Chain A
Amino acid sequence: MDPLPEGAPPEVVLVPNNDVFYRITLGNSLTNEDLISYLQKWPEKYQGEAKILASGVSVFDDLNAAKRKMKLPALRNHKGIAKLTLYPADGVVKKSFGKYHYTWWRTQSFDLSKAEMEAL
Protein backbone atom coordinates (compact mmCIF):
# COMPACT_ATOMS: atom_id res chain seq x y z
CA MET A 1 0.00 0.00 0.00
CA ASP A 2 1.14 3.55 -0.74
CA PRO A 3 1.53 5.86 2.24
CA LEU A 4 -1.66 7.72 3.17
CA PRO A 5 -1.91 11.43 2.36
CA GLU A 6 -1.65 14.02 5.11
CA GLY A 7 -4.81 14.07 7.23
CA ALA A 8 -5.75 10.45 6.46
CA PRO A 9 -7.34 8.81 8.26
CA PRO A 10 -9.23 11.72 9.88
CA GLU A 11 -8.92 12.33 13.62
CA VAL A 12 -12.36 11.06 14.55
CA VAL A 13 -12.63 7.44 13.46
CA LEU A 14 -14.00 4.18 14.78
CA VAL A 15 -11.79 1.24 15.58
CA PRO A 16 -13.69 -1.87 14.52
CA ASN A 17 -13.72 -4.81 16.88
CA ASN A 18 -15.45 -7.88 15.54
CA ASP A 19 -17.65 -5.61 13.40
CA VAL A 20 -19.11 -6.83 10.13
CA PHE A 21 -18.89 -4.78 6.93
CA TYR A 22 -19.58 -5.54 3.27
CA ARG A 23 -17.45 -4.67 0.24
CA ILE A 24 -18.62 -5.05 -3.36
CA THR A 25 -16.16 -7.14 -5.40
CA LEU A 26 -15.31 -7.30 -9.08
CA GLY A 27 -15.36 -11.09 -9.21
CA ASN A 28 -16.62 -13.96 -7.12
CA SER A 29 -13.94 -13.59 -4.46
CA LEU A 30 -12.22 -10.72 -2.68
CA THR A 31 -8.86 -9.84 -4.25
CA ASN A 32 -6.28 -7.11 -3.71
CA GLU A 33 -7.72 -5.30 -6.71
CA ASP A 34 -11.02 -4.88 -4.83
CA LEU A 35 -9.24 -3.07 -2.03
CA ILE A 36 -7.22 -0.63 -4.10
CA SER A 37 -8.26 2.90 -3.22
CA TYR A 38 -9.09 5.38 -5.95
CA LEU A 39 -6.11 7.45 -4.83
CA GLN A 40 -3.80 4.49 -5.49
CA LYS A 41 -5.52 3.85 -8.81
CA TRP A 42 -5.57 7.45 -10.03
CA PRO A 43 -3.18 9.50 -7.86
CA GLU A 44 -3.44 12.59 -10.08
CA LYS A 45 -7.24 12.71 -10.04
CA TYR A 46 -7.69 14.09 -6.55
CA GLN A 47 -6.53 17.30 -4.93
CA GLY A 48 -6.38 18.64 -1.40
CA GLU A 49 -8.86 17.20 1.08
CA ALA A 50 -10.50 15.00 -1.57
CA LYS A 51 -7.35 12.87 -1.39
CA ILE A 52 -8.23 11.88 2.17
CA LEU A 53 -11.53 10.31 1.16
CA ALA A 54 -10.06 8.73 -1.96
CA SER A 55 -7.35 7.08 0.15
CA GLY A 56 -9.89 4.81 1.87
CA VAL A 57 -12.31 2.27 0.42
CA SER A 58 -16.08 2.10 0.84
CA VAL A 59 -17.78 -0.54 2.97
CA PHE A 60 -21.33 -0.91 4.30
CA ASP A 61 -22.63 -2.21 7.59
CA ASP A 62 -25.76 -3.54 5.89
CA LEU A 63 -25.86 -6.26 3.22
CA ASN A 64 -28.99 -4.91 1.50
CA ALA A 65 -27.41 -1.46 1.20
CA ALA A 66 -24.49 -3.07 -0.65
CA LYS A 67 -26.89 -5.01 -2.89
CA ARG A 68 -28.80 -1.84 -3.70
CA LYS A 69 -25.60 -0.09 -4.83
CA MET A 70 -25.05 -2.78 -7.44
CA LYS A 71 -28.03 -1.37 -9.36
CA LEU A 72 -25.96 1.72 -10.18
CA PRO A 73 -24.28 1.73 -13.62
CA ALA A 74 -20.78 2.40 -12.30
CA LEU A 75 -20.98 -0.79 -10.20
CA ARG A 76 -22.83 -2.97 -12.68
CA ASN A 77 -19.71 -4.88 -13.72
CA HIS A 78 -19.18 -5.99 -10.10
CA LYS A 79 -20.15 -9.57 -9.36
CA GLY A 80 -20.04 -10.21 -5.62
CA ILE A 81 -20.21 -8.94 -2.07
CA ALA A 82 -17.57 -9.89 0.49
CA LYS A 83 -18.41 -10.05 4.18
CA LEU A 84 -15.52 -8.66 6.24
CA THR A 85 -15.25 -9.05 9.98
CA LEU A 86 -12.88 -6.31 11.05
CA TYR A 87 -10.70 -6.08 14.16
CA PRO A 88 -8.48 -3.27 15.46
CA ALA A 89 -5.47 -4.64 13.54
CA ASP A 90 -7.37 -4.29 10.25
CA GLY A 91 -7.48 -0.47 10.28
CA VAL A 92 -10.03 2.19 11.11
CA VAL A 93 -13.39 3.22 9.67
CA LYS A 94 -15.33 6.45 9.56
CA LYS A 95 -19.08 6.84 9.13
CA SER A 96 -19.51 8.88 6.00
CA PHE A 97 -21.98 9.55 3.21
CA GLY A 98 -25.29 7.90 3.95
CA LYS A 99 -27.04 5.65 6.36
CA TYR A 100 -24.92 2.49 6.02
CA HIS A 101 -21.72 3.73 4.39
CA TYR A 102 -18.27 3.83 5.99
CA THR A 103 -14.83 4.65 4.64
CA TRP A 104 -12.23 2.08 5.64
CA TRP A 105 -8.51 2.84 5.89
CA ARG A 106 -7.07 -0.66 6.02
CA THR A 107 -3.75 -1.87 7.27
CA GLN A 108 -1.40 -4.11 5.35
CA SER A 109 -2.03 -6.88 7.85
CA PHE A 110 -5.64 -7.38 6.75
CA ASP A 111 -6.00 -10.98 5.62
CA LEU A 112 -8.03 -11.31 2.40
CA SER A 113 -8.71 -14.96 3.05
CA LYS A 114 -10.80 -14.05 6.08
CA ALA A 115 -13.50 -12.59 3.82
CA GLU A 116 -16.60 -14.67 3.16
CA MET A 117 -18.60 -14.20 -0.04
CA GLU A 118 -22.32 -13.53 0.26
CA ALA A 119 -24.85 -15.27 -1.94
CA LEU A 120 -26.57 -12.74 -4.24
Chain B
Amino acid sequence: MKELKLVRILDFYDEIQLFTAKDAVGCMYLCQLYESTADGSDYLCVAISQDRLDSFLKGILDLREALTQPEISDQYYKVVMKKDVIQAFDLAKNDVQESMLPEEGYFFEPDEQTEDIDMIRESENCGSPLIRLALEDEKNGHEVSAECLSGVLAAYRNLLNSCYKKRNDKEVLKLDVVALKAASFDIHFKVDTSFDLLMDTPLINELSAIDDLFCFEDIESYKSKAVKFKGRILNSFVLLLNFLKENKLSLRHKWVKSLTDGKVQSRYTPFRSIAKMCDFLESENDLCKEIREFCGVFLASSVEESGKWTMRCEKIDGEPKTKDISGTSSDPQILSGVTIEQKHYRIQCEEIQTIKKATMKVTKKYILVKKDEIES
Protein backbone atom coordinates (compact mmCIF):
# COMPACT_ATOMS: atom_id res chain seq x y z
CA MET B 1 0.00 0.00 0.00
CA LYS B 2 1.16 3.55 -0.68
CA GLU B 3 -0.30 6.89 0.27
CA LEU B 4 -1.05 9.37 -2.51
CA LYS B 5 -1.52 13.11 -2.46
CA LEU B 6 -4.22 14.70 -4.60
CA VAL B 7 -2.74 16.99 -7.26
CA ARG B 8 -5.64 18.06 -9.47
CA ILE B 9 -9.34 17.29 -9.71
CA LEU B 10 -10.01 16.71 -13.41
CA ASP B 11 -13.68 15.80 -13.29
CA PHE B 12 -16.38 16.17 -10.67
CA TYR B 13 -19.97 15.03 -10.54
CA ASP B 14 -21.42 15.06 -7.01
CA GLU B 15 -17.99 13.78 -5.99
CA ILE B 16 -14.54 13.53 -7.54
CA GLN B 17 -14.78 11.37 -10.66
CA LEU B 18 -11.26 11.76 -11.98
CA PHE B 19 -8.09 13.13 -10.45
CA THR B 20 -4.34 13.09 -10.62
CA ALA B 21 -2.23 12.29 -7.59
CA LYS B 22 1.40 11.77 -6.78
CA ASP B 23 3.24 9.48 -4.39
CA ALA B 24 6.05 10.27 -1.97
CA VAL B 25 8.67 10.18 -4.74
CA GLY B 26 6.67 12.33 -7.18
CA CYS B 27 5.36 9.59 -9.51
CA MET B 28 2.06 10.72 -11.08
CA TYR B 29 -1.14 8.65 -11.09
CA LEU B 30 -4.42 8.96 -12.94
CA CYS B 31 -7.38 7.82 -10.82
CA GLN B 32 -10.97 7.26 -12.01
CA LEU B 33 -13.98 6.57 -9.79
CA TYR B 34 -15.81 3.29 -10.31
CA GLU B 35 -17.64 2.75 -7.03
CA SER B 36 -18.87 4.97 -4.25
CA THR B 37 -20.27 3.84 -0.92
CA ALA B 38 -20.96 5.33 2.48
CA ASP B 39 -17.54 4.11 3.62
CA GLY B 40 -15.42 5.64 0.88
CA SER B 41 -14.82 5.90 -2.84
CA ASP B 42 -12.91 3.40 -4.99
CA TYR B 43 -10.85 4.47 -8.00
CA LEU B 44 -9.11 2.54 -10.75
CA CYS B 45 -5.62 3.94 -11.00
CA VAL B 46 -2.56 3.72 -13.24
CA ALA B 47 0.85 5.36 -13.03
CA ILE B 48 1.23 7.90 -15.83
CA SER B 49 4.20 9.81 -17.23
CA GLN B 50 4.04 13.60 -17.58
CA ASP B 51 4.12 13.31 -21.39
CA ARG B 52 1.17 10.93 -21.46
CA LEU B 53 -0.70 13.01 -18.90
CA ASP B 54 -0.12 16.10 -21.07
CA SER B 55 -1.52 14.19 -24.01
CA PHE B 56 -4.63 13.39 -21.96
CA LEU B 57 -4.96 16.97 -20.68
CA LYS B 58 -4.67 18.33 -24.22
CA GLY B 59 -7.68 16.19 -25.21
CA ILE B 60 -5.66 13.87 -27.45
CA LEU B 61 -5.64 10.65 -25.41
CA ASP B 62 -8.90 8.80 -24.69
CA LEU B 63 -9.38 8.05 -20.97
CA ARG B 64 -10.21 4.43 -21.78
CA GLU B 65 -6.92 4.04 -23.63
CA ALA B 66 -5.02 5.70 -20.76
CA LEU B 67 -6.49 3.12 -18.37
CA THR B 68 -6.52 -0.02 -20.55
CA GLN B 69 -3.06 0.49 -22.01
CA PRO B 70 -0.99 1.90 -19.16
CA GLU B 71 2.69 2.55 -19.76
CA ILE B 72 3.62 -0.11 -17.20
CA SER B 73 1.38 -2.78 -18.64
CA ASP B 74 0.49 -4.92 -15.64
CA GLN B 75 0.54 -2.26 -12.97
CA TYR B 76 -2.90 -1.28 -11.72
CA TYR B 77 -4.00 0.09 -8.40
CA LYS B 78 -7.23 0.24 -6.48
CA VAL B 79 -7.20 3.66 -4.86
CA VAL B 80 -9.43 4.19 -1.85
CA MET B 81 -10.35 7.74 -0.87
CA LYS B 82 -11.70 7.86 2.69
CA LYS B 83 -12.20 11.30 4.16
CA ASP B 84 -8.84 13.02 3.52
CA VAL B 85 -6.76 9.88 3.11
CA ILE B 86 -5.92 8.44 -0.33
CA GLN B 87 -4.38 4.96 -0.33
CA ALA B 88 -3.31 2.90 -3.34
CA PHE B 89 -3.37 -0.91 -3.25
CA ASP B 90 -1.95 -3.22 -5.90
CA LEU B 91 -4.62 -4.60 -8.21
CA ALA B 92 -4.06 -7.59 -10.49
CA LYS B 93 -4.72 -6.91 -14.19
CA ASN B 94 -7.25 -9.75 -14.22
CA ASP B 95 -9.24 -8.01 -11.50
CA VAL B 96 -9.85 -4.96 -13.69
CA GLN B 97 -13.47 -5.46 -14.74
CA GLU B 98 -15.26 -3.83 -17.67
CA SER B 99 -17.60 -2.18 -15.16
CA MET B 100 -14.59 -0.27 -13.75
CA LEU B 101 -13.65 1.24 -17.13
CA PRO B 102 -15.06 4.23 -19.01
CA GLU B 103 -16.68 3.94 -22.40
CA GLU B 104 -14.64 4.95 -25.42
CA GLY B 105 -14.77 8.62 -26.36
CA TYR B 106 -14.14 10.34 -23.05
CA PHE B 107 -11.65 13.08 -23.87
CA PHE B 108 -10.61 15.75 -21.38
CA GLU B 109 -11.65 19.28 -22.37
CA PRO B 110 -8.29 20.84 -23.20
CA ASP B 111 -7.13 24.12 -21.79
CA GLU B 112 -6.96 26.97 -24.23
CA GLN B 113 -3.25 27.60 -24.33
CA THR B 114 -0.32 25.25 -23.96
CA GLU B 115 1.50 27.96 -22.06
CA ASP B 116 -1.30 27.98 -19.54
CA ILE B 117 -1.04 24.19 -19.19
CA ASP B 118 2.65 24.55 -18.42
CA MET B 119 1.93 27.25 -15.88
CA ILE B 120 -0.76 25.12 -14.23
CA ARG B 121 1.59 22.14 -14.15
CA GLU B 122 4.28 24.27 -12.56
CA SER B 123 1.71 25.45 -10.00
CA GLU B 124 0.55 21.88 -9.31
CA ASN B 125 4.11 20.70 -8.81
CA CYS B 126 4.98 23.39 -6.31
CA GLY B 127 1.49 23.32 -4.71
CA SER B 128 1.29 27.12 -4.65
CA PRO B 129 -0.25 29.81 -6.85
CA LEU B 130 2.16 30.88 -9.58
CA ILE B 131 2.47 34.42 -10.87
CA ARG B 132 4.39 35.60 -13.94
CA LEU B 133 5.54 39.09 -14.77
CA ALA B 134 6.75 39.41 -18.34
CA LEU B 135 8.65 42.62 -19.04
CA GLU B 136 8.88 43.74 -22.64
CA ASP B 137 11.01 46.63 -23.87
CA GLU B 138 10.55 48.53 -27.14
CA LYS B 139 12.77 46.12 -29.07
CA ASN B 140 11.33 43.05 -27.31
CA GLY B 141 14.93 42.35 -26.31
CA HIS B 142 15.99 39.50 -24.12
CA GLU B 143 17.71 41.51 -21.44
CA VAL B 144 16.88 43.87 -18.65
CA SER B 145 19.13 45.82 -16.28
CA ALA B 146 19.72 44.23 -12.88
CA GLU B 147 18.61 47.46 -11.20
CA CYS B 148 15.33 47.52 -13.11
CA LEU B 149 14.68 43.82 -12.45
CA SER B 150 15.28 44.09 -8.71
CA GLY B 151 13.25 47.33 -8.60
CA VAL B 152 10.28 45.71 -10.34
CA LEU B 153 10.51 42.68 -8.03
CA ALA B 154 10.57 44.85 -4.89
CA ALA B 155 7.78 47.11 -6.13
CA TYR B 156 5.54 44.23 -7.25
CA ARG B 157 5.99 42.40 -3.93
CA ASN B 158 5.17 45.61 -2.09
CA LEU B 159 2.03 46.15 -4.21
CA LEU B 160 0.77 42.60 -3.65
CA ASN B 161 1.38 42.95 0.07
CA SER B 162 -0.44 46.31 0.18
CA CYS B 163 -3.47 44.68 -1.45
CA TYR B 164 -3.17 41.69 0.91
CA LYS B 165 -2.90 43.87 3.99
CA LYS B 166 -5.97 45.86 2.99
CA ARG B 167 -8.12 42.71 3.01
CA ASN B 168 -6.44 40.63 5.68
CA ASP B 169 -5.07 43.32 7.97
CA LYS B 170 -1.73 41.53 8.04
CA GLU B 171 1.36 41.09 5.99
CA VAL B 172 3.65 39.70 4.69
CA LEU B 173 3.21 37.29 1.82
CA LYS B 174 6.42 35.54 0.92
CA LEU B 175 7.25 35.49 -2.77
CA ASP B 176 9.92 33.19 -4.19
CA VAL B 177 11.25 33.61 -7.69
CA VAL B 178 11.21 30.12 -9.20
CA ALA B 179 12.26 30.85 -12.80
CA LEU B 180 13.54 33.59 -15.05
CA LYS B 181 13.01 33.21 -18.77
CA ALA B 182 14.44 35.34 -21.50
CA ALA B 183 11.56 35.68 -23.99
CA SER B 184 10.64 39.32 -23.29
CA PHE B 185 11.99 38.89 -19.79
CA ASP B 186 9.75 36.62 -17.82
CA ILE B 187 9.77 36.27 -14.00
CA HIS B 188 7.96 33.34 -12.36
CA PHE B 189 6.99 33.70 -8.70
CA LYS B 190 5.64 31.18 -6.29
CA VAL B 191 3.48 32.57 -3.50
CA ASP B 192 3.99 30.97 -0.12
CA THR B 193 0.36 29.94 0.33
CA SER B 194 -1.74 26.95 -0.75
CA PHE B 195 -4.81 26.65 -2.94
CA ASP B 196 -8.15 26.53 -1.15
CA LEU B 197 -10.61 23.63 -1.10
CA LEU B 198 -11.97 24.52 -4.54
CA MET B 199 -8.36 24.69 -5.77
CA ASP B 200 -8.74 28.43 -6.36
CA THR B 201 -5.89 30.72 -5.47
CA PRO B 202 -6.60 32.39 -2.11
CA LEU B 203 -5.21 35.63 -3.59
CA ILE B 204 -7.95 36.06 -6.22
CA ASN B 205 -9.02 39.42 -4.78
CA GLU B 206 -5.49 40.82 -4.54
CA LEU B 207 -4.37 39.64 -7.98
CA SER B 208 -7.64 40.74 -9.58
CA ALA B 209 -7.13 44.17 -7.97
CA ILE B 210 -3.68 44.40 -9.59
CA ASP B 211 -5.17 43.42 -12.97
CA ASP B 212 -7.85 46.04 -12.45
CA LEU B 213 -5.23 48.68 -11.69
CA PHE B 214 -3.35 47.83 -14.88
CA CYS B 215 -6.51 48.11 -17.01
CA PHE B 216 -6.45 51.57 -18.57
CA GLU B 217 -8.96 52.89 -21.11
CA ASP B 218 -9.14 56.63 -20.55
CA ILE B 219 -8.33 59.14 -17.81
CA GLU B 220 -11.95 59.70 -16.71
CA SER B 221 -12.85 56.05 -16.17
CA TYR B 222 -9.44 55.42 -14.61
CA LYS B 223 -9.97 58.23 -12.13
CA SER B 224 -13.23 56.77 -10.83
CA LYS B 225 -11.61 53.34 -10.56
CA ALA B 226 -8.49 54.66 -8.80
CA VAL B 227 -10.63 56.03 -5.95
CA LYS B 228 -11.40 52.43 -4.90
CA PHE B 229 -7.69 51.85 -4.29
CA LYS B 230 -6.96 55.20 -2.65
CA GLY B 231 -4.05 55.25 -0.22
CA ARG B 232 -1.28 52.72 0.18
CA ILE B 233 -2.34 50.46 -2.70
CA LEU B 234 -2.15 53.33 -5.21
CA ASN B 235 1.05 54.54 -3.61
CA SER B 236 2.58 51.08 -4.05
CA PHE B 237 1.25 50.88 -7.60
CA VAL B 238 2.91 54.17 -8.53
CA LEU B 239 6.27 52.82 -7.27
CA LEU B 240 5.94 49.92 -9.69
CA LEU B 241 4.72 52.13 -12.55
CA ASN B 242 7.75 54.39 -12.08
CA PHE B 243 10.18 51.51 -12.65
CA LEU B 244 8.28 50.41 -15.74
CA LYS B 245 8.02 53.95 -17.09
CA GLU B 246 11.69 54.83 -16.50
CA ASN B 247 12.73 51.69 -18.38
CA LYS B 248 10.06 52.03 -21.10
CA LEU B 249 8.61 48.61 -20.37
CA SER B 250 5.29 47.00 -21.20
CA LEU B 251 4.05 44.36 -18.78
CA ARG B 252 2.14 41.10 -18.94
CA HIS B 253 0.71 39.97 -15.60
CA LYS B 254 -0.34 36.30 -15.52
CA TRP B 255 -1.45 34.14 -12.62
CA VAL B 256 -3.04 30.78 -11.95
CA LYS B 257 -6.58 31.50 -10.85
CA SER B 258 -7.84 27.97 -10.37
CA LEU B 259 -6.29 24.53 -10.67
CA THR B 260 -9.61 22.75 -11.13
CA ASP B 261 -10.72 25.04 -13.93
CA GLY B 262 -7.19 25.13 -15.30
CA LYS B 263 -7.71 28.87 -15.45
CA VAL B 264 -4.90 31.34 -15.97
CA GLN B 265 -5.65 35.05 -15.82
CA SER B 266 -3.66 37.30 -18.10
CA ARG B 267 -3.43 41.05 -18.70
CA TYR B 268 -1.11 42.90 -21.03
CA THR B 269 -0.47 46.61 -20.44
CA PRO B 270 1.48 48.48 -23.14
CA PHE B 271 4.10 51.06 -22.22
CA ARG B 272 1.97 53.96 -23.49
CA SER B 273 -0.81 53.07 -21.00
CA ILE B 274 1.73 52.64 -18.20
CA ALA B 275 3.12 56.12 -18.91
CA LYS B 276 -0.38 57.67 -18.94
CA MET B 277 -1.39 55.97 -15.69
CA CYS B 278 1.84 56.99 -14.02
CA ASP B 279 1.53 60.64 -15.07
CA PHE B 280 -2.11 60.76 -14.02
CA LEU B 281 -1.58 59.20 -10.57
CA GLU B 282 1.42 61.40 -9.83
CA SER B 283 -0.67 64.46 -10.65
CA GLU B 284 -3.44 63.27 -8.27
CA ASN B 285 -1.43 63.43 -5.05
CA ASP B 286 -4.40 63.01 -2.75
CA LEU B 287 -5.35 59.66 -4.26
CA CYS B 288 -2.02 58.13 -3.28
CA LYS B 289 -1.96 59.54 0.25
CA GLU B 290 -2.11 57.02 3.07
CA ILE B 291 -2.89 58.56 6.45
CA ARG B 292 -1.71 56.62 9.53
CA GLU B 293 -2.68 57.30 13.13
CA PHE B 294 -0.29 56.77 16.05
CA CYS B 295 -0.95 57.21 19.79
CA GLY B 296 1.79 57.40 22.41
CA VAL B 297 4.43 59.68 23.94
CA PHE B 298 7.01 61.75 22.12
CA LEU B 299 10.59 60.72 22.88
CA ALA B 300 12.02 63.63 20.91
CA SER B 301 10.77 66.55 18.84
CA SER B 302 12.19 69.60 17.13
CA VAL B 303 10.45 72.69 15.83
CA GLU B 304 13.45 73.48 13.62
CA GLU B 305 14.07 72.60 9.95
CA SER B 306 11.91 69.63 8.98
CA GLY B 307 10.37 69.20 12.44
CA LYS B 308 11.85 65.81 13.30
CA TRP B 309 10.15 63.68 15.94
CA THR B 310 10.20 60.23 17.50
CA MET B 311 7.19 58.70 19.20
CA ARG B 312 6.95 55.59 21.37
CA CYS B 313 3.64 54.31 20.05
CA GLU B 314 1.15 52.41 22.15
CA LYS B 315 -1.50 52.22 19.45
CA ILE B 316 -1.08 52.14 15.69
CA ASP B 317 -4.19 52.74 13.56
CA GLY B 318 -6.34 52.06 16.63
CA GLU B 319 -4.71 48.70 17.41
CA PRO B 320 -2.56 48.28 20.56
CA LYS B 321 1.06 47.94 19.39
CA THR B 322 4.34 49.12 20.91
CA LYS B 323 6.83 50.54 18.44
CA ASP B 324 9.11 53.57 18.10
CA ILE B 325 8.28 55.61 14.98
CA SER B 326 10.22 58.60 13.66
CA GLY B 327 9.33 61.18 11.06
CA THR B 328 9.26 64.78 9.98
CA SER B 329 6.50 67.40 9.95
CA SER B 330 4.62 69.19 7.20
CA ASP B 331 4.94 72.29 9.41
CA PRO B 332 7.50 72.16 12.30
CA GLN B 333 5.23 74.47 14.34
CA ILE B 334 2.80 71.58 14.83
CA LEU B 335 5.31 70.31 17.38
CA SER B 336 5.52 73.50 19.40
CA GLY B 337 4.51 72.99 23.03
CA VAL B 338 4.97 69.21 22.92
CA THR B 339 5.82 67.71 26.33
CA ILE B 340 8.38 64.96 25.93
CA GLU B 341 7.72 61.59 27.60
CA GLN B 342 5.07 63.01 29.92
CA LYS B 343 1.91 63.69 27.93
CA HIS B 344 0.15 61.38 25.50
CA TYR B 345 -0.70 62.44 21.95
CA ARG B 346 -2.65 61.15 18.98
CA ILE B 347 -0.94 62.11 15.72
CA GLN B 348 -1.87 61.71 12.08
CA CYS B 349 0.88 61.22 9.51
CA GLU B 350 1.08 60.91 5.78
CA GLU B 351 2.90 57.69 4.88
CA ILE B 352 5.36 57.96 1.99
CA GLN B 353 6.78 54.77 0.48
CA THR B 354 10.06 54.77 -1.41
CA ILE B 355 12.39 52.12 -2.75
CA LYS B 356 16.02 52.57 -1.74
CA LYS B 357 18.12 52.23 -4.87
CA ALA B 358 21.06 50.69 -2.99
CA THR B 359 19.16 47.90 -1.23
CA MET B 360 15.93 47.83 -3.29
CA LYS B 361 14.02 47.69 -0.02
CA VAL B 362 10.74 49.53 0.40
CA THR B 363 11.01 52.08 3.20
CA LYS B 364 8.27 54.17 4.75
CA LYS B 365 8.56 57.78 5.85
CA TYR B 366 6.03 59.57 8.02
CA ILE B 367 5.13 63.24 7.74
CA LEU B 368 3.22 64.63 10.71
CA VAL B 369 0.14 66.57 9.64
CA LYS B 370 -1.97 66.70 12.84
CA LYS B 371 -1.43 66.36 16.60
CA ASP B 372 -3.88 66.18 19.55
CA GLU B 373 -3.16 65.74 23.22
CA ILE B 374 -5.07 62.82 24.75
CA GLU B 375 -5.60 61.27 28.20
CA SER B 376 -3.00 58.60 28.99
Using CB atoms and an 8 Å cutoff, list the residues of chain A in contact with chain B: 10, 24, 37-38, 41-42, 44-47, 49-50, 52-54, 57-58, 65, 68-69, 71-76, 95-101
Contact = CB atoms under 8 A, between A and B. Distances in A.
Contact of A72 (B33, B38, B84, B198): B33
Contacts of A46: 83
Given A58-B13, A95-B261, A50 B197 contact: yes
Contacts of B63: 71
B51 interface: no
A52 B103 contact: no
A73 B109 CA distance: 18
B299 to A, nearest CB: 45
A98 B260 contact: yes
A50 B44 CA distance: 22
Contacts of B83: 45-47, 50
Interface residues of B, number: 36
Given A52-B197, A74-B34, A45 B101 contact: no
Contact of B17 (A44, A47, A69, A99): A69
24 contacts: A38-B15, A42-B37, A44-B38, A45-B39, A45-B83, A47-B83, A47-B84, A49-B197, A50-B84, A53-B197, A71-B103, A72-B18, A72-B106, A74-B17, A74-B33, A74-B34, A74-B36, A75-B13, A97-B11, A97-B198, A97-B260, A98-B109, A99-B109, A99-B261
Contacts of A37: 14
B12 interface: yes
Contacts of B101: 73
B275 interface: no
Contacts of A74: 13, 17, 33-36
Nearest to B38: A42
A62 to B, nearest CB: 10
Interface string B30-51: 0011111111100010000000
Nearest to B200: A96
A45 B40 contact: yes
B168 interface: no
Contacts of A71: 63, 102-106
B148 interface: no
Contacts, number: 89
Interface string B189-212: 000000001100000000000000
A85 B31 CA distance: 33
A54 B109 contact: no
A67 to B, nearest CB: 10
A38 B14 contact: yes
Nearest to B11: A98
A6 to B, nearest CB: 14
B369 interface: no
B283 interface: no
B100 interface: yes
Contacts of A75: 13, 17
Nearest to A43: B38
B109 A72 contact: no
Nearest to A103: B12
Given A71-B102, A76-B99, 18 more contacts: A24-B13, A38-B15, A46-B83, A54-B14, A54-B15, A65-B109, A68-B107, A71-B103, A71-B105, A72-B18, A72-B33, A73-B44, A73-B100, A73-B102, A96-B12, A96-B198, A97-B12, A98-B109
B9 interface: yes
A75 B15 CA distance: 11
Contacts of B100: 73
Interface in B166-202: 197-198
A54 B14 CA distance: 7
Nearest to A41: B38
A97 B195 CA distance: 13
